[in-house]
């Protein structure tokens, strides 16, 4: 039967992003409002594709990720997110959610960012809502902060805002995916990267409460974010690479000085950071800059002309299982659904 409120099924695809300025700490956990603005690159090639179907015959929500039905935390997070979409749309049916990643989940390749951006796009469309990209990004934030940025392609800033109600907190696309084609993200995947022990949302609040370095980091971030935005705008490779390493080192310092300490790297990750430092030293200029999130894999930004040199160097690091070459990619997109008929 045709549904007057629009389609009941939709499929949406979104890509992970890597933060060059990290989001780490919330000023309002209930609304998912961050302490600081952050800036990321949405990546090409890696994708999460999610289909959502609201069905009155379903007794409860069902979630399949990469062919497996997770229970506990991941399922609860999806159900909570669907509850928000039901509240917004007035729908009451349970949903069937089928999601797949074409990359490894939960180990620093930011599957929560692409995952919640894809879920937000698919669930709202299936529920008959037509949200603007900005509104979609604000909703995705409630699943995972970094998901707010994956709604957009290219270089994206998530503005922290100041208002208690969060109305000035949203992501904006700064430069499109084709702004800087020579910029390459060489990702060094670490063999046996451990699964995250503590969810980022909890870990970051523990940093806010306990790290003696956190206040200093917050004070330095606005100027660093402006400098990084400017280096991207002017396409200044070495300047950008220096700045993102400084930011990554600062992020790692607040994690390591958290009580109890947060250590996302393995000895292999640390060897990768050393290899990048050594490469720059030998070259006498900053050829490449590393960054990592709350995981063991490392993203190394460089320019196309140095990419094969950087790749070779990383492939020589013992314990690196694979090296991917990525670029800035497109934002989220609707793959199916959104028509009027159910």
Interface ranges with ligand PMV (CB under 6 A): 19, 22-24, 38, 112-113, 144-146, 200-201, 293-294
184, 325 in Cβ contact below 8 A?
A: yes
The nearest distance, CB 255 to ligand PMV, in angstroms, is 9
Read off φ and ψ for residue 9, nearest 5 degrees: -135, 145
Smaller CB separation from ligand PMV, 75 or 203: 203
How many Å apart are CA 237 and CA 113, to the nearest integer? 26
Smaller CB separation from ligand PMV, 125 or 148: 148
The nearest distance, CB 312 to ligand PMV, in angstroms, is 28
The nearest distance, CB 276 to ligand PMV, in angstroms, is 19
Smaller CB separation from ligand PMV, 94 or 299: 299
Strands 33-34 and 62-65, bridge-based pairing? unpaired
153, 328 in Cβ contact below 8 A?
A: yes
Smaller CB separation from ligand PMV, 91 or 217: 217
- Within 151-209, strands assigned E span 155-159, 170-175, 183-190
**Which residues 6+ apart lie within 8 Å of 142 measured at CB?**
31, 32, 81, 84
The nearest distance, CB 199 to ligand PMV, in angstroms, is 7
Smaller CB separation from ligand PMV, 119 or 294: 294
How many Å apart are CA 229 and CA 47, to the nearest integer? 25
How many Å apart are CA 176 and CA 331, to the nearest integer? 9
The nearest distance, CB 254 to ligand PMV, in angstroms, is 11
Smaller CB separation from ligand PMV, 7 or 258: 258
How many Å apart are CA 310 and CA 38, to the nearest integer? 26
Strands 94-101 and 288-291, bridge-based pairing? unpaired
Smaller CB separation from ligand PMV, 147 or 288: 147
How many Å apart are CA 155 and CA 122, to the nearest integer? 23
The nearest distance, CB 200 to ligand PMV, in angstroms, is 4
The nearest distance, CB 140 to ligand PMV, in angstroms, is 10
Distances (CA, A) of 166 to 83, 173, 226, 234: 20, 18, 22, 31
Helices (H), the chain: 73-89, 111-126, 133-141, 147-150, 200-210, 214-233, 237-256, 267-283, 304-315
The nearest distance, CB 146 to ligand PMV, in angstroms, is 3
Supply the DSSP symbol for 263: -
**Nearest one of 18, 16, 20 to 230, comparing CA atoms:** 20
**Which residues 6+ apart lie within 8 Å of 284 measured at CB?**
none
The nearest distance, CB 133 to ligand PMV, in angstroms, is 18
Smaller CB separation from ligand PMV, 199 or 277: 199
Smaller CB separation from ligand PMV, 107 or 200: 200
């Amino acid at each position: 039967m045709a549904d007057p409120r629009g389609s009941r099924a939709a499929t949406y695809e979104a890509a992970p992003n890597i933060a060059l300025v990290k989001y780490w700490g919330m000023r309002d956990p209930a609304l998912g409002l961050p302490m600081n603005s952050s800036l990321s690159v949405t990546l090409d090639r890696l994708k999460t594709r999610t289909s959502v179907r609201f069905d009155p015959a379903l007794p409860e929500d069902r979630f399949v990720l990469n062919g497996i039905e997770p229970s506990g935390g991941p399922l609860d997070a999806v159900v909570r997110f669907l509850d928000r979409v039901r509240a917004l749309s007035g729908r009451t049916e349970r949903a069937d959610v089928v999601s797949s990643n074409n990359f490894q989940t939960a180990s620093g390749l930011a599957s929560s960012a692409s995952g919640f951006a894809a879920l937000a796009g698919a669930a709202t469309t299936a529920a008959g809502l037509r949200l603007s990209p900005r509104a979609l990004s604000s909703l995705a934030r409630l699943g995972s902060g970094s998901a707010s940025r994956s709604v957009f392609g290219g270089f994206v800033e998530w503005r922290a805002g100041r208002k208690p109600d969060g109305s000035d907190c949203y992501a904006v696309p700064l430069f499109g995916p084709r702004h800087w084609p020579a910029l390459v993200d060489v990702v060094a995947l670490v063999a046996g990267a451990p699964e995250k022990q503590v969810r980022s949302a909890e870990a970051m609040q523990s940093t806010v409460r306990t790290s003696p370095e956190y206040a200093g980091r917050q004070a330095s971030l606005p100027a660093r974010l402006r400098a990084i935005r400017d280096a991207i705008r002017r396409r200044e490779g070495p300047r950008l690479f220096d700045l993102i390493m400084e930011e990554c080192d600062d992020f790692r310092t607040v994690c390591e000085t958290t009580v109890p300490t947060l250590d996302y790297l393995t000895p292999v990750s640390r060897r990768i950071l050393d290899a990048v430092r050594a490469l720059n030293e030998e070259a006498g200029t900053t050829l490449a800059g590393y960054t990592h999130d709350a995981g063991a894999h490392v993203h190394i930004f460089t320019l196309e002309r140095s990419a094969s040199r950087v790749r070779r160097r990383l492939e020589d690091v013992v314990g690196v299982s694979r090296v991917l070459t990525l670029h800035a990619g497109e934002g989220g997109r609707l793959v199916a659904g959104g028509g009027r008929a159910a």
